[in-house]
Amino acid sequence: MVAPNNVRSEFTQCFGDDSDVRVFCAPGRVNLIGEHTDYNDGFVLPIAIDRNTVVVARARNDSIIRVYSVNRKQEGTFDLDHATPIQKGQWTNYVEGTARLLRQKGFRIGGTDIVLESDVPVGAGLSSSASLEMAVAAALVRLGDQPFDRERMALACQEGEHEYTGAMIGIMDQFAAAFGEEGHALLLDCRSLEFIAIPVLLEHHALLVCDTGVKHDLAASAYNDRRRECAEAVEILEKFIPGIRALRDVSESKLNAYATELPEVLYRRAHHVITENARTLAAAEALQERQYTVLAELMYASHESLRKDYEVSSPELDLLVDTARTIPGVAGSRMTGGGFGGCTVSFVEQDRAEEFMFRMREAYGTELKVYTVRASPGAEEIC
């Protein structure tokens, strides 16, 4: 965890003193299963993790937001009362998108001085951006002295990211950063936004995240391509299956009945989403019932589907999952997050965790970073 006192002293250096500041944090997330299903109105099973963005913030008397990132050693400024053209590719866009969209959604957001620091690895598929957005949203909403409406805040952050970065992401990451619960995964229905918290009992198992350290450049545009392909599949299928709104509404047997109507690529994209929704519901049940062999098979099947049907895996991720499968005591492993690099998530028996790390590094290279993560709470004020 980032030391809040460190961020406070950085605040003093930037803004003169730390009187009246308030401190907030929001976590990154690892997704256990349910990948690329959120923007298809489907199901996801993320876990908020014990890696956070910490925000130290103080209200100003004007409409200016000044933000300093300890990680980047860079500052940005914008005026909430004056919109300027969006310059893509700036890290401050995550802050500006959040602040402006919260305002548009009716939150009272005023000028604020902000210093932030994060220990969520960037570009690793652990949602460093949603963690930053929710931590900033928590600060802006609380400084305006208004109810902490987590759902509306998460939706504003998601929309801010759409507008300010062009990544047409789903709701999973912001939702996990907002609603995470200690010791629990969240089974979220991305259509109704209803969720249930499922205990992740880690007395016997550890949750290990392996970071390939690779992020392919095409990730953002390929993500939007997948989203478009899913919408195209729905457009074709609704001619044959009236009333469907999203791939969530299509069963595997219906998809197969109309398979020849779809271009082959669209069939595979839809097949992934539809089978992944079923796997996610089954995995939530297996987790609840502690049926780890069932969970393991579902996680491996998810990875295969992402590799072959959805084509968002990478050689590095495949190597990690293929290696994990051969290590005793591994109760499931798969890529996690958007893909094209990033991380895998593995459930490993506690007393085999050391051996797991050793064998994974032996196969991948000693530079492989492995993090042990714990299911942790969502955004909160910490002091």
**Sites of contact with ligand GLA (CB under 6 A):** 31, 35-36, 38-39, 127, 169-170, 172-173, 337-338
Q: Choose the catalytic residue: 18, 41, 50, 173.
A: 173
- Residues 205, 76: Cα–Cα separation, whole Å: 42
Q: Is 111 or 337 the residue whose CB approaches ligand GLA more closely?
A: 337
Q: How far is the CB of 272 from ligand GLA (least distance, A)?
A: 11
One-letter amino acid identity for 271? H
Q: Tokens 């550890």 sit at which residue?
A: 206
Q: How far is the CB of 245 from ligand GLA (least distance, A)?
A: 18
Q: Is 205 or 226 the residue whose CB approaches ligand GLA more closely?
A: 226
One-letter amino acid identity for 222? A
Phi, psi (rounded to 5 degrees) for 237: -65, -30
Q: Is 177 or 286 the residue whose CB approaches ligand GLA more closely?
A: 177
Q: Is 115 or 134 the residue whose CB approaches ligand GLA more closely?
A: 134
Token pair of 290 as six digits: 């502690």
Angle CA 226–99–32, to nearest 5: 40
Instruction: Say whether 145 is catalytic.
Output: no
Q: Where does the chain show beta strands of DSSP type E?
A: 22-31, 43-44, 46-59, 64-69, 74-79, 112-118, 184-189, 195-199, 205-215, 330-336, 341-349, 369-373, 380-381
| Count of alpha carbons within 13 angstroms of residue 379, beta-carbon side | 29
Q: How far is the CB of 170 from ligand GLA (least distance, A)?
A: 3
Q: How far is the CB of 263 from ligand GLA (least distance, A)?
A: 22
- Sheet with 22-31, strands from edge to edge, namely 74-79, 64-69, 112-118, 46-59, 22-31, 380-381
One-letter amino acid identity for 258? Y
Q: Is 121 or 337 the residue whose CB approaches ligand GLA more closely?
A: 337
Q: How far is the CB of 327 from ligand GLA (least distance, A)?
A: 25
The residues carrying an active-site annotation are 173
